[in-house]
Amino acid sequence: MGWTGKVLRVNLTNGTVQSEPLNMDWAQQYLGQRGLATKYLVEEIDAQCDPLGPDNKLIFATGPLTGTCASTGGRYSVITKGPLTNAIACSNSGGYFGAELKFAGWDMVILEGKSPKPVYLCVTDDKAELLDASDIWGTSVWKTDEWIKAKHQDPMMHVATIGISGENGVLYSAIVNDLHRAAGRSGVGAVMGSKNLKAFAVRGTKGVKVRDGRAFMKATNDGKQVLAENAVTGSGLPTYGTQVLMNAINEAGASPTRNSREVQFEGAHDISAEAMATPRSTDGEKNLQTNQACFACTIACGRISKIDEKHFTVVNKPEYWHSSGGLEYEAAWALGNNTGVNDLEALTYAQFICNEQGLDPISLGATISAAMELFELGLITTEQTGGIDLKFGNAEALVKCTELTGKAEGFGKELGLGSARLCAKYGRPDLSMSVKGQEFPAYDARGIQGMGLTYATSNRGACHLRSYTVASEMLGIPEKTDPLVTEGKAGLVKAFQDATAAVDSAGICVFTTFAWTLEDIAPQVDAAVEGGWTPDKMLEVGERIWNMERMFNHRAGFTGKDDMLPPRLMKEAAQTGPAKGLVSGLDKMLPEYYQLRGWTADGVPTTETLSRLAV
């Protein structure tokens, strides 16, 4: 009921698979997906293990609403220790793979050890096999997906796989499912590659039942109504996608530009949602072809784009002339504003390559951006880049760097280290726009103060999805706060962090929270599974998860000193826009945040806090 009650354990070293019952006590304490799988991980691995070694584990996990008609109920997460950060990693994806895994009868799959040779995991309902992947090792996500479906003569299979980057240890490699949806961040794909696991194919024909069918239909229908009537989820996101933010954030002076030297990009309009929906001057076609929903999603924010066939990126490459997953806001920003490139078609092509080879476009774009600054400072030269003229604004350089990183070739190997290691290598660690080794996304911490605290304290390294205070500070959801002030932000960030941890554990998409609160979500969860799920219980579970993740990082060696933003954001004031003259006020917010969390002044959860939350 909601949960299938089954966990598949795969030992890659021995090539064995076994089914075991889900720990139902933990399910009550951690709900599912992010929370529950993290509980398994922290209980089973040494926090100090090498993330790319055989002692790390990789968990694919669904939530109780995954595989149901609850809107957006198709999510899964990949949980592991991340190689980009050495911290807890938890990357969430949509598409159809997660629901299919649930239909096959599994709440989660735990992969341990390391296969002696390349294999892929094939799960068809109860049957799980490790099969030879030598024919697909060294091929792209797209080729692998096609090969597996042909091999098994089953077009209804869903495949999550790594590309060449993940096989070769690019530290921000993604796991891509359904060709263009990704468990994108923190390098979960590199962990998969380190285990010689190329892909995970799944086909499920079992059903998902819920605890109380009538209550479930009532709660999910009510929820869908709320999404449909909300301006963001009912109109903005389906029409414009997440790119609806491009112009708005830029005008708010909160768009990190050219490695955060600036906060507004003069080319933002050229790469915005509006630009995607306007016929091109070259061929009269629109970049945006249509929108696509993930499984069960009634928002449908996904972009399906087509590149101009005459554009330099694809001119002699008909294999890229079809439609595929196009630009989301974070990718458009990272590959665009942050590198100073305003060529929409080039950015779309770079996004295609990220999907085809399994790369996180945020970390990729931010790393290229940092490399561009190092290049302009003369610390990296054409000798290192292999002749690439790595100047800000050079679309051809961006594209070449993306291709090389996707295949882990040439200068792409250095870019594959991520910005923190790259900048340290060239003597300017301060130029990496990252926290805990992970690059931050598309919101400037000077222009949206809450996001500075969000990045600094995110358990998986800098991330917008752990506490999207942009919703409050920019959009007024659930209530408007001033983006330029630090007052009240500690409490705001904590509230978003705890609620989001619960949402990420339920099997639904965090974008629902533009319209839904836990008051809308708890009845859906409660009708699906046993346990009396109230908004309060979900919030408590969220806080428990947050502290559990924090303790894992603490054991992995992180301290309060790692809750730090790059010096640029703390010292160099924004030069234009509403935030002109401001730096991040992180130093004002952090002590209050620790206090609200019940942590010591050094950022360690106190015994009382851990005991209150039963972590």
Partner 1 sequence: MLKALVIDAGKCTACKQCEMACSLENEGEFNVAKSRIRVFDFHTEARFVPYTCTQCAEAWCQQACPVNAITTDGMGVKVVHDNLCVGCKVCTIACPFGTVNYNASTGKVIKCDLCGGEPACSDACPTGAITYQDVEQGGFDKMKVWATQSANATTTEGPNTPKAGQASGTGH
Residues lying near partner 1 in the complex (CB under 8 A): 67-69, 96, 99, 103, 156, 179-180, 204-210, 213, 224, 228, 238, 289-298, 300, 304, 306, 322-325
What is the smallest separation between the CB atom of 387 and partner 1, expressed in angstroms?
34
Residues 6+ apart with CB under 8 A from 345: 280, 287, 307, 308, 311, 313
Longest dimension (CA), the chain: 67
* Residue 205: Cβ-neighbour burial (10 angstroms; 0-12, 13-18, 19+): exposed
What is the smallest separation between the CB atom of 31 and partner 1, expressed in angstroms?
19
CA distance to 138, 407, 488, per residue, from 354 (Å):
16, 10, 38
Which residue type sits at 315? Answer: V
What is the smallest separation between the CB atom of 248 and partner 1, expressed in angstroms?
24
What is the smallest separation between the CB atom of 100 and partner 1, expressed in angstroms?
8
What is the smallest separation between the CB atom of 125 and partner 1, expressed in angstroms?
10
CA distance to 29, 157, 458, 525, 534, per residue, from 538 (Å):
9, 33, 19, 9, 6
What the block records as the tokens of 14 is 């021995």
Nearer to partner 1, 56 or 298 (CB): 298
Which residue type sits at 456? Answer: A
DSSP state of 593: H
Nearer to partner 1, 148 or 297 (CB): 297
| Nearest-10 crossing angle of helices 489-503, 449-457 | 50
CA distance to 251, 326, 541, per residue, from 247 (Å):
6, 18, 36
What is the smallest separation between the CB atom of 378 and partner 1, expressed in angstroms?
44
Residues 6+ apart with CB under 8 A from 213: none
What is the smallest separation between the CB atom of 52 and partner 1, expressed in angstroms?
33
Nearer to partner 1, 156 or 231 (CB): 156
Nearer to partner 1, 228 or 570 (CB): 228
What is the smallest separation between the CB atom of 184 and partner 1, expressed in angstroms?
18
Nearer to partner 1, 103 or 558 (CB): 103
Cα dihedral 573, 579, 585, 590 sign: negative
Query: What is the spatial distance between Cα 194 and Cα 83, in angstroms, rounded to a whole number?
Result: 10
Query: What is the spatial distance between Cα 44 and Cα 65, in angstroms, rounded to a whole number?
Result: 25
Three-state SS at 588: helix
What is the smallest separation between the CB atom of 7 and partner 1, expressed in angstroms?
20
Other beta carbons less than 10 A from residue 395's beta carbon: 23
What the block records as the tokens of 229 is 């009537």
Nearer to partner 1, 241 or 416 (CB): 241
What is the smallest separation between the CB atom of 73 and partner 1, expressed in angstroms?
9
Asked whether the bond before 566 is cis by omega within 30 degrees of 0, the reply is no
Reference 111, options 5, 8, 4; nearest CA is 8
Nearer to partner 1, 366 or 509 (CB): 509
CA distance to 70, 495, 588, per residue, from 596 (Å):
33, 10, 13
Nearer to partner 1, 211 or 494 (CB): 211
What the block records as the tokens of 106 is 């599994």
What is the smallest separation between the CB atom of 208 and partner 1, expressed in angstroms?
4
Nearer to partner 1, 45 or 293 (CB): 293
Nearer to partner 1, 295 or 514 (CB): 295
Which phi and psi (to 5°) does residue 67 adopt?
Answer: 80, 20
Judge whether 143 and 386 are in contact, CB under 8 Å.
no
Judge whether 300 and 512 are in contact, CB under 8 Å.
no
What is the smallest separation between the CB atom of 223 and partner 1, expressed in angstroms?
12
Nearer to partner 1, 206 or 269 (CB): 206
What is the smallest separation between the CB atom of 67 and partner 1, expressed in angstroms?
6
Nearer to partner 1, 131 or 228 (CB): 228
Nearer to partner 1, 156 or 573 (CB): 156
